[in-house]
Structures are given as C-alpha cells and as structure tokens.
Amino acid sequence: MNFPPSPNPTAVPGRGEVDVERPSDPRGPIDDPAASHSSSNAASSARTPTATLEDDQRASSGATAFANIENSTARALPTSSPPPQVLGRRRRSLGPQSPPASAVRPTAAAVSPILPPSKRRRRDGAAMPADADTSGHPNGHLASRSNGSTAQHAGVTNGAQKSAVATNGSSSSTGEKHNQPGDAEPQPSTYFGHDREELTRILIQALSDMGYQAAAESVSRDSGFDLESPTVAAFRSAVLDGSWVEAEKLLSGAGMSDGRGGGNGLVLAATSDRNVMKFWLRQQKFLELLEQRDTSRALTVLRTELTPLYQDTGKLHFLSSLLMCRSAEDLMNKANWDGAGGQSRRQLLSQLSRCISPSVMLPEHRLAVLLEQVKQRQIDTCLYHTAASPPSLYSDHYCDKRNFPSEVAIVLADLVGEAWQVRFSNDGSKLAAGGDRENVMIWETKTFTLVNALSGHGDGVGNLAWSPDDRLIVTCSQDKIARLWDTKTGTLRKVIRTFSEPVSGCVWSADSLSFVLGTLDKTHSLCSFNVEDDGCIEWDKKHRVQDLCGSLDGKWLVAADDLTKIYVYKAATRELEYHLDVGTRPTSVSMSQDCRHLLVNKDGEAQLIDLETRQSAQKFLGHLGGAFMIRSALGGANESFVASGSENGYVFIWHKNIGVTVERLAGHLPRCNSVCWNPMDPCMLASCGDDGQVKIWTNKARMMELRSTHPKPSNGWRGSISEA
C-alpha cells in the first residue's frame, strides 16, 4: 500500500518480502468477537495441547540455541479415524493405531493460552529456544485438520495450505514419541555438521513446495518434526481469513524470542513492536470496511483503534482522506491496494512474518533460497565467469579462461577521426558509435554490417542513448543540439536547440515516450522532453552536467557535474535526494542492473557506490584518467565485471565483487575512450579510441566465427577485419 513510511518493528536484516500463495477469503473482515471465536474453533478443531508448562520448562532448560532455524513444537495428535488427515491438498488414511478424536479436540480458545512457551515440535518432548533471527519469508505449515477435508486455502507451503503431518499412532497427548518394537534407533542430532531438525524441516517444506505431498508427509512422520505449531497456523489462518479479533488475540499472547513475556507458541523477534503489528492488522480491517462502503464502522476503527496506536499524523491523515473515496476502485487506486479478494491479506501476512522468529515460521522456499545463495557465491568468486546459464547443482562451478572475451575479432573503421562513445542496443542486436565528426554509425551485430549512418551533426557527438525499445536513439552533440533518430530508417525525428552549451547525456523513461537531457548549460542543466511533442520540463536544481544515468526501475536519476559532485535524484518527482563529493572530477556514471549500485569513473579510479547506504562498495584501480572523458561500464555474465578505457590506450577489466584486475588488453592508440558490454552476449564487448576504430572483443572460438561472417571491406561504409 502506498502509505507514508512507518517504523520497522524489527531490526533483523535480510528478511525479504513474501508472496503467501494461499487464496484468501474474499469475504469481509471478521471483527465481531463471537464470529471470530466461532471461526477459530473450526480452524483449530484438530489442534492439541502439548506438554504441560512445567514439563516443557524442564525440557527447555538444557536446550542449546542454534542459529537461524532452530525451533519446533510438539506435534498434534491424529484425530478420529473416520476423517482422514491431509497434507496440503492430498489425503491419506490414518493407521489403525490412531487414538480417538475426543482426546485431541481443543477449542480455538484453548490453543493460545494452553500452549507452553517451548516451540520445539519434536515428538520426544524436548524443547528448543526460539531464534531471534527473522530473515526470510513465512513458510507453509502442516497444521492438523480433523474434518477430513482439504484445507480451505490451497497452495504451496508458503502459508497457502493447511495440512496434517501424521504421528506414528502411538504418540501421547503430550506430543512425546514412543518407540514401538522394530522402530529404528534414535538418529544423531546433526547431519554432517548441520542441525538435523533444521535440515529435516527444510526438506519437508521443499518436498511440499515441489508437490511431493506424500513424500513430505512420510518424512515428517518418520522424523517426528512438523513445520509449524498450531498457534502459528491459527495466526496465519486468522490473517488470511480476515479474523482480526482472533489475530490480535494470538498476537497479544505471543512471546518474544529473548524469552520475555512467556508466550502461546507464536514467537516475535526481540526487536518487534507489537503495537505496530496491531496497527497493520487494524489498517487492513479499516480498508476492508471502506471497500464494503461501511464508512461509519471504518470511521470508528480509525478513531478508536488506529489513532491510539500510532503517532504518525501523516499516515493517519492519509487514512482519513480515504474516507472520501467514492468507490472501491477509487479506494484501491489511491491506497495502491487490491482489496480483500486480492493479494492484500497475503502481503499483510508477509509484512507481519518479518516480525516473527523463523524458528516458528520457517522462511518461504528456504531450500531454494539456500541453493540460490550457493550458486550466487560460486558465480561471485568465478574469476572468468562467462556462462549465461545458471550453475548446475551437480558440480562446483568453474569457467575456463579461454572463453573470456580477450581477443579482437573485428575492427570497424567506418568512423573518420576520433571515436568517443560506443553503445550496444538493449537487445544486443545493434551497435552505435560516435566521435569528433558529424556521423554516428550503427551496425548490426551478427555480421557487423553497417546499417545506418546518422549524419548532420555540426560538431562531435559525445554521447548516445538507445530508447528501451531500441526504436529510437538520442545523440548528444558538441554543437549544443540533441537529436532524436529513428534507428530503423535513420530518419531525424526531432531537433532540440534549447541549450547554450554542449549536450552531455540522456536518460530514457521505461516506456520510451520521454527522456531527460543533461547539459553543461547551467541554466538548463536537466530538462525532460516528450517524444511526440515539443514540451519541456525544467528540473529545479541548477548545476552543470558532465554525464548522467538512470536506474532501470525508474527510481533514480544520477548526474555528475564537472567538478567533484554526484547528484542523486528521485526520477519520478525530480527531487534531489542527496549529493556526494567524490573528491575528483567524475568522467562517467553508469547504473547496475540491480538498480542499487552506481559505477563512477574518475582520474585513475573506478568506484562502485551503494546508493542506499551511500558508501563505497568496491574500488577498481590501475587505469589512467586525465583531462579527457574516459568511460567505464558494468557487464558480462551476471554483470560480474567492470570494464574501462584508459589514457594509455588499454582496456581494463576487473571482477566486480573481488575487485581484482582480470585483463589488461592493448586496445587503442593513443587513448581508449569508452568500453561497453553486449547486454545479451557475455562473451562480447566493444571499445573505441582516438585512433577512430571500434574494436569487437570475444574469445578465440567466437573470433573465427565472427570473422567468417563479417563482410570484407569494399568501400568506405565497411569495416575491416583485424588479422592481429
């Protein structure tokens, strides 16, 4: 929801957003206590109390705390034999050893106060303290059901399905596991150094995620571990069903991961703010009442429930303004909210889950997340990473140096004079280059045949910018004019003569309908233009612009001046967020694909800056700067590399994460001005220099292939093949 920011009730890092893939009940919120109690009785009819508080405290006194995912609670006993238990959407029949249902049918009201503070779900009754780490997402659960029907909210185990994990038929009401004759010997507590309970619960979740419900049930039965306690399952159901009274009741009875406050089985992170969590619940309740056009009750909730909890007058005023919405559609548009029948309840659960210990609410798709971290780690440390496909899990990842683009395949000599800038199109199918003469050349990249020459510039072209759809290109000229071209036909679409100084850069909007120009004209330093008309919007801040770039998500626009400063703007509002002093004159700026990191090239140093923390993330040394514009770029497979030109003519390539120099290639004489990567081909980059040449770099295997398809020079419009 597009609300003013509220304080984060948990300081635990790394906890991401959740897509709780469970269809929510499109009905309105249940804020009547009687209705909520009735609903919770039905949802909790198969849940059973675990060991007594005293027994659990004795068991937990000697428990060892583990990092991250460490906790489980006692398992629920099976219900009576006629209704079968389910795991997700699959049913399985109970064995003949199932106890009578009368022994295991607590009411919903009994779930919260009776459950002991211990969260361990192993059937041997041993307790394990909760983990304060709240990173990750909420997972699904295997909460028992007694009516034999498939859970109401079907889906994967991210909270979207209710399912039962059977006991062995001999479990007592305390949740202890009693070995029968022929049972296997107790397993060790670790598996190759990893906590067995953590690993088992993660495996159960992964099997259920992949649709192997019977296998997940079997592992849970054999191991004695559940994914969630009945209380956590009840809280999840209350949020997704809109049972706000029940949800608040469970939240009020929750304990803290540091042991404060006892608890009912729901465990909050040590830094979580219970009142903020209640505010989120009541805010959803308020919005759903407005959606139902029940304005009087919504106003009561705002005055008596929301206002006492929260002191952010800006947010409260915003919520008050929603009372004036004329329709549900108007409400959804203004609040950036999709209603009770959409994803809003799942998003609310995701928000709340970040305040709950992962030891009781396993992060969503945890095994997949861990495997992705392993893959990314191998990629991050691969010195010559060129593989476009993800690494296999079967073997350790490795890329051969021979596949790295360090060989000149083609030299394009169509430009006359110096070559200042070179840019691949966004789809990698074309390459454009400009320099100190009037022409900008465009080649296609299969055979590197020249397809267009954009002529008519009164002076050199210092910068180029392809539109996101690659239909248009803006050329920024030293003659103080920006030109908009059709890249297919080479037709000049627009000429912009607003400026009294050279145009230095351009950033496109994501829809390819508008763009921002940066110039060295201090009175018109940043201006927005539309493709189809002559309208111009002046940005408020006035400073000379040496170069500029924008993030792919449209959040940031960054401009470098001709002194020592970097200006970071909110692109949507054109407001200056902050500025940084980088010490020396920046010659180029470029944005990473993750929209978070900024690459700044300056004299003798390229620097990667985290735009969120405003701190340097990595530095790259070795190349030479000077008085001229030397440009650097991010690229390669998984954007793993930084490449830059140099005053001494070399092309420098560094590993982005490690910071080490991977290649130092003899490029141009006397100066290499710009380097760029093909965004669709990790084994291809282009460079240009004062020798007027544009060089295409690849590996030895690809080199011969490109040379065989590139046409031999026949006139002034064809490039030549380098035999070097």
Beta-bridge mates of residue 579: 567
Q: How confident is the model at residue 697 (pLDDT cuts 50, 70, 90)?
A: very high
Q: What residue ranges define each of the domains in the chain, with the CATH number in brackets?
A: 33-180+187-272 (no CATH), 405-709 (2.130.10.10)
Arithmetic mean of pLDDT, 662-683: 96
Q: How confident is the model at residue 320 (pLDDT cuts 50, 70, 90)?
A: very high
Name the 3-class secondary structure at 493.
strand
What mean pLDDT is reported for the chain? 79
Beta carbons of 462 and 420 less than 8 angstroms apart: yes
Arithmetic mean of pLDDT, 589-602: 96
Residue (of 163, 171, 154) closest to 104 by Cα position: 171
Q: Is the CA virtual torsion 12, 17, 19, 22 positive or negative?
A: positive
pLDDT in tens, 118-173: 433 444 433 334 443 434 443 444 443 333 333 334 333 444 343 334 333 333 33
pLDDT in tens, 290-300: 999 999 999 99
Return the amino acid letter for 277: M
pLDDT at 468 over 60: yes
For the sheet with 450-454, list strands across it.
419-424, 430-435, 440-444, 450-454
Arithmetic mean of pLDDT, 238-255: 94
pLDDT at 31 over 80: no
Find all residues with CB under 8 Å of 625, minimum gap 6, and list them.
584, 587, 601, 602, 603, 604, 605, 647
Higher pLDDT, 116 or 192: 192
Beta-bridge mates of residue 503: 519
Residue 116 tokens, joined: 């002991």
pLDDT in tens, 259-313: 666 677 899 988 889 999 999 999 999 999 999 999 999 999 999 999 999 778 8
Element spanning 505, H or E:
strand 503-508
Residue 335 has phi, psi (to 5 degrees) of -90, -5
pLDDT in tens, 361-413: 888 889 999 999 999 999 999 999 999 888 999 999 999 999 999 999 999 99
Arithmetic mean of pLDDT, 208-231: 92
Residue 9 tokens, joined: 């009730």
- What local confidence, expressed as pLDDT, does residue 313 receive? 87
Beta carbons of 450 and 470 less than 8 angstroms apart: no
pTM passes above 0.85: no
Which range has highest mean pLDDT (10-24, 216-230, 630-644)? 630-644
Which range has highest mean pLDDT (16-25, 51-60, 246-255, 682-691)? 682-691
Work out the percent of the chain whose per-residue pLDDT is above 90: 63
Through-space distance between the first and last CA atoms of the chain, rounded to whole angstroms: 59
Arithmetic mean of pLDDT, 43-65: 38
Higher pLDDT, 408 or 72: 408
Residue 222, CB half-sphere, CA atoms under 13 Å: how many? Answer: 13
Helix axes 366-380, 196-209, angle to 10 degrees: 100
| Cis peptide preceding 670, ω within 30 of 0 | yes
